[in-house]
Structure 1
Amino acid sequence: MRSCLRLYSSVSQPKSHVQFALRRPLFLPTTLKLFSTAAAASNQTSFAFSYLVNSCGLSPESALFVSNRVTFETSARPDAVVNVFKSHGFSQSQIAGIIRKWPPMILASPERTLLPKLKYLRSVGFSGSDLVQMITFSPYFLTRSLEKHLIPNFSRLRDFLGCDKSAVTAIRRSPRILLQGFEATVDVIMWLVKYHFRKLMTSYDHLEKVVEKTKGMGFDDPSAAKFAVAMLPVMGMSESMWERKLDAYSRWGWSKDDAMSAFVKRPWCMTLSEEKISAVMGFFVKEMGLESSFLLRHPTLMSLSLEKRICPRCMVFKHLSSHGLMKTKFCLTTLLTISDKDFLVKFVTPHIGEAPELLDIYREKKHMAMGALVP
């Protein structure tokens, strides 16, 4: 583009024309985008693209996105899907939003996929407006098996809460319970009661404030398992202690926003001691030569044991790398998060012949008996 401009400006023209030409590129991106969209659309099966725009109300960009993922040459199935949604109270804009989020929905079977699930959800107590809100928010509900997922999930929640009405209320407030199941959340709650019961023994008003404060930090789904974990530092740490944790991360280049972002990804980050934060950061930065931003992208690694997992495995990795024994690329997070058995199978036992000292390196760092290292 710059070379074209130089060429254009070198031609003898009135000054005003040159200035006009030099200003025009500022408007080219939008123009080019429109041309590229139209050109791409012309290469699509025109019926599908036109149908999505004219019958479903999608924008040309959204219709192009959807038509790249699903194809159809008649309106029979799409019409049937749209009619099912309309008959259940969905507006055209809501139907368009569902199709944008989940393109295969436009070709779903009304008889096998849509109607049985909608009928079941209505039968257990969800109103029409409930279903519109839930499915618009997360159309993936309708992709899950009725017999293997939706009914068992609802039944377990109903049994836990005591009646259909309570289960419907819980799902209405947090639809992900039905989509993901609630066992993980219940397990975390039971863990909190078992190991942190004293922290939970507080007034309802205080607990409600903790929940609202936790939500304000970016945890928007109280039914998610990590929400309960995030509540621990929120209710258990003073403001001064919270600031000390943030300072511990800032010494390694993290901003306050960075630390909060990691906290949302992995709440355990803010339960670590200042010493643990410094030790893990120091190891990855000084020993492994990584930027601290690596841990910002993978905050799960912060909560791993430095002595029992991070150090032994990284030492094996460095030894293999320095001797040219790492033949394939792999993700360091994989190396650190797989099970001990898988780590040995993938990174130790295959290289014993070429580097028998790997056993000593791993055993020294992990303090394990040699017999436990190699099956």
Structure 2
Amino acid sequence: MITIQLRGHCLSTLLHHLHSLNSGPFSSFRVSLSSLPKVVTINSAQNANQENPVLLNYLINTLDFPKPKALAVSNRFPWVRSVEKPQLAVHFFKSIGFTDAQINSAVSNAPQILLADVEKTLKPKIQVLQELGITGSDLGRLMSTKTNILTRSLDKILKPSIDVLNKVLINGIHNGDWLRVLRRCDWVLHKSPHLRLIPNISYLESVGIVGTQLSALLKRQPYLFVVPESELKKLVSRVMDIGFSTDSRMLMHGLHTLGCISQESFSKKLLLFQSTGFSKNECMEMFRRAPALFRTSEEKLRLRLEFFLETVKLKKSTLVQYPTLLMFSMEDRVIPRYHVFQLIKSKKLLEKDPSFYYMMRLSEHLFLEKYISRFTENAEELLMAYKGHFLDVGEE
């Protein structure tokens, strides 16, 4: 049955045209004419008074909504004639520590929570999140942006999905993993786990990503657990084509990186490396050794390549073998250690010049021990060369 809503058209004219459809190719087209006057009346009444002054005033005066936003929200609920439920909802959120700003944000994202039953709907869902270790200010911050979690069915979506993901996260309740996951992607709690979560987890396990690796992938890139399975398989196929294997622990890291960046971004970074003299095979080798390198911005990669290749005069083969050198902070590690490296060379403190890439890879403690404190007569000067940039910043 098709219902036609009339806005400003002459009813008699429309009826005349509809009767003319009784013959010809549209003879099977039928319309419920008896419903037309009713629809016209309802629409006319709604159009005549689109504002809901009760809810509108509450949003403006209590939640400090600007009028345009308050109008947009209140117009969605024209039948509301009392603010009793909104008052109860707001009181509940405040009682568990939500700030006014967080409540405002939550209502903006999912206005329907204002009309939800506190005892039957809101409180049980909040309790489930609290049982996951998300409490206090963390809970308020999460719900201010991921409010749609509170609109999902407790028994059909939230609890079943949590049960599935708890088996992956292992000890997620006790170490903040659940907060980390939901901040990055609350979609893991948006649909029945049978639709995507369970199939995707099964597929990832089938290609060798199991146990702690599966848990790590969920914490780093939860979105991969809710993409269509066909997209996940294409992504895994791309990673395999680059040279990762199902028995390699690096497969998860490669999948994480390709899941984070677009194919266009990946291609641009490949071109950047090739423009500085690396072959495509060398680029792929660097990616296999340090997939996270390709999550670095193009600008940072360009600056680091220039420094290592042109200033330090490091061989390209060294960067291919140790691509993590390009991931260290230039300000806090690379440049300060390079200053020490230059000073040791200029003063000939060692019979053989130190290896810069070896200096770079040392922990802070070992670096200080091997290249600063051991040279007692020059320790102060070396320490100034190493920490001088911090002192300069402090003096400013």
Structure 2 length-normalised TM: 0.44
Larger Rg: 2
Structure 1 length-normalised TM: 0.46
